[in-house]
Structures are given as C-alpha cells and as structure tokens.
Amino acid sequence: MAETTKTALTLCGSLRKGSHNEILRRHVSGKLREAGVAVEDIDLADYEMPIFNEDLEAADTPEAASRLAEKFAKADIIVIISPEYNAGMTPVLVNTISWLSRQKHGQWRRAVFGLGAVSTGRYGGVTGIAHARDTLSKLGALLAPTLLGVGPAEGAFDALGVPTEAGVAKKVDQLVRELTHFSRGGA
C-alpha cells in the first residue's frame, strides 16, 4: 500500500513575544518536516476563546473552538509545547482544552500527541507536562512517551533556535520518531 504523508499540528502554550517554548515548538516543527510530515503551525492567538463558562456554551461557543477541534480531528500528530505556570498548565492551554473538550468532532481520538516544555527553572516544566498528560489521557488522547522538558531556558538554544545540549536534541529526535511511528489509524 502506498504511504500517505502524515499531517501534524504544532501549538505553543505561551503567547509571550520571545517565548522560549515557541523556539522549541519551531524546532520540533522543523524536525517533523525533515521527517516528511506536513506540518501546520498553529498560533493560539488566532483562536481566540473567552474564558470558559458553561453559560456561554448554549449560544456563544466560539467559532474558534469548533474550527480548532475539526483540525485536531483530522491531524495524525499534535504537538503541544508549553511552559508550566505554578506547576500546572498555562491559562491559554487550560482554556483551549476546556473549550475543545466540549466539541464533538472526535478531536482527541485520531492524533498521537507529543508534549514538551521549556522553563527558566532547571526542572524544565515537567510537572506541567504531567498535568497536561493526565488531562489529555482522560480525554482519550494517545500520548508519545518521551518527556521533553528543557531547563533552564537560558542558553538552551543557539541563535538559530537549535538546542545546544546533545541530550535535548536527542530527545527531540526520539519524540519525532515516536510521533511518526505510532498511529491511531483514525480510530
């Protein structure tokens, strides 16, 4: 059977200009492209959603929520790179997942998800990743096992956004291998 090109979405859970996590997101996107994946880079600033409130659902579900859920439902791979805030997920990530969790497009059941984080601390945001893993697993997502935590952010990337530590570069390659290897087969 002819191999079809896999598709991926990559997202960053920080909207900050100069975000360290955005640098890692871009790097992972590039590595997925090198592996032959058709990648769409998602900027969550283009998917504005009010703070989730069940009262808004009936009449005012943001169009961005169903638009993004439809994209999730079609992608083979979804990569979320996000800092941890107070050892948890960032507000924009929690809000996005809350809205998406209420959509009915099968948005968690097709893709294999990969998670990563950069933090200014030395634990590399792994506690936030653990929270995201728990939440996404509960929603039915399949998660690639590699724990891609990078920290401290200072000096972790060169001017071109390439990881300076061999260990980090290796983990990115490992994550990309997992993401391109596993498949839900559209389940």
Residue closer to ligand FMN by CB (options 2, 159) is 159
Q: Mind giving me the DSSP string for the chain? A: -PPPPPEEEEEES---TT-HHHHHHHHHHHHHHHTT-EEEEE-GGGS--PPP-HHHHHHH--HHHHHHHHHHHH-SEEEEE---BTTB--HHHHHHHHHHHT--S-TTSSSEEEEEEE-SSTTTTHHHHHHHHHHHHHHT-EE----EEE---TTSB-TTS-BSSHHHHHHHHHHHHHHHH---TT-
**By CB under 6 A, residue 19 contacts ligand FMN:** yes
- By CB under 6 A, is residue 114 in contact with ligand FMN? no
Which listed residue (69, 77, 141, 153) binds ligand FMN by CB under 6 A?
153
Site mask for ligand FMN (CB under 6 A), range 158-187, x = bound: ------------------------------
Q: Is 126 in the site for ligand FMN (CB under 6 A)?
A: no
For the record, the structure tokens of 96 come out as 């996005």
Q: Indicate whether 52 belongs to the interface with ligand FMN (CB under 6 A).
A: no
Nearer CB in complex with ligand FMN: 21/146: 21
> Of residues 16, 33, 67, 138, which one binds ligand FMN by CB under 6 A?
16
Q: Which of 43, 60, 120, 138 is in the footprint of ligand FMN by CB under 6 A?
A: 120
The yes or no reply on residue 43 touching ligand FMN (CB under 6 A) is no
Which residues are bridge partners to 52 per DSSP? none
Note whether 118 and 20 are within 8 A (CB): yes
Residue 30: CB minimum distance to ligand FMN, A = 17
Enumerate binding residues for ligand FMN (CB under 6 A): 14, 16, 19-21, 83-87, 118-121, 123, 125, 153
